Amino acid sequence: MRVVFMGTPAFAATCLNKIADRCEIVGVYTKPDTPKNRGMKLMESEVKQAAKVLGLPVYQPVSFMDDAVVEELRDLQPELIVVVAFGKILPQRVLDIPEKGCINIHGSILPALRGAAPVQWAVLQGLPETGVTAMYLSAGMDEGDIIDIRKTPVDPNETAGQLMDRLAVLGAELLADTLVSIENGTATRTPQDAALASYAPMLTRELSPIDWEKPARQILNQIHGLDPWPTATAELGGTSFKIFNAEPIEAPCAGCPGTPVRLDKKGLTVLCGDGAVRITELQAQGGKRMRAPDYFRGHPIALP
């Protein structure tokens, strides 16, 4: 089966590697190289890097609004287009090209958490369970018919990055099985129930500042859900920090939410709306990521 693969981040690269020897991949589409870091060096996406290792042809169009780009895709004569975290909306004229349709691996149990950041919002919302969905693409965002779903529990102390890595493996296995069912003509189609839909919008830095008035569990979900990007932030003792890891702990004393009250070999305890959290890993502005006890050993903080 002739397949065009479209994707960008590591999640998608895991899926590409899984199916590379299971079908004829006639082209890999990914975002154009992006300038990053201080030197603004052009960086290749993880999917492009994987495709080069596999010896697959890579295409990096700016959009599919260009007729020449669409015709180039049509000339590849794909029977199926596979999309995994591509980052671009496919117009109907692209969806109509492959005879077997276009499918997508989405990082949630659809119709829950449609949108750009389903894995992060599963952690931010403290969901006990999430998963991956194989679906047919349609004109609406993540609204297509469901082919199959794989589920997994979410550990309450799991970061979005850790969950993403697990779901990438689960999604790759689901994709491989879905390709077999499509080729055999046994793939099913189940329409989504729009009444059950929820959304996972793109993350922004506006989500980062911690509101210490909130319950400890919500703060922990925020810290874990925004790791690795954009990360939770807080000001402690007059210094701005990125907060990378924390754990629940019983409050040692009463006081104002946001007040650091204890430093021990495990971390810095800060009061919040219904108790306290212990920050175990952080990064001061302009500094490096460190264990909290190590940082405050060299940068003492005032405690009550």
Tens-place pLDDT, residues 105-143: 999 999 999 999 999 999 999 999 999 999 999 989 999
Residues 6+ apart with CB under 8 A from 37: none
Measured CA to CA, the distance from residue 76 to residue 67 in angstroms comes to 15
Q: Greatest CA separation found in the chain?
A: 70
pLDDT at 216: 95
Is pLDDT at 297 greater than 70 in this prediction?
yes
Length of the chain: 304
Question: Structural domains in the chain?
Answer: 2-196 (3.40.50.170), 205-298 (3.10.25.10)
Residues 6+ apart with CB under 8 A from 203: 116, 117, 120, 226, 229, 230
Is pLDDT at 38 greater than 90 in this prediction?
no
Measured CA to CA, the distance from residue 119 to residue 296 in angstroms comes to 32
Q: Which helix (H) or strand (E) holds 284?
A: strand 275-284
Model pTM? 0.95
Q: What average pLDDT score do residues 135-163 get?
A: 96
Tell me the pLDDT of the chain averaged across its residues. Answer: 96
Measured CA to CA, the distance from residue 120 to residue 114 in angstroms comes to 12
pLDDT at 150: 98
Measured CA to CA, the distance from residue 23 to residue 182 in angstroms comes to 12
Higher pLDDT, 42 or 54: 54
How many CB atoms within 10 Å of residue 129?
11
pLDDT tens digit sequence for 222-243: 999 999 999 999 999 999 999 9
pLDDT tens digit sequence for 69-103: 999 999 999 999 999 999 888 999 999 999 999 99
Q: What percent of the chain has pLDDT over 90?
A: 92
Q: DSSP letters of 96-138? A: TSSTT-EEEEESSSTTTTBSS-HHHHHHHTT-SEEEEEEEE--
pLDDT at 113: 98
Q: What average pLDDT score do residues 237-259 get?
A: 89
Q: What is the CA radius of gyration of the chain?
A: 22
pLDDT at 37: 72
Is pLDDT at 39 greater than 90 in this prediction?
no
pLDDT classification of 207: cutoffs 50, 70, 90: very high
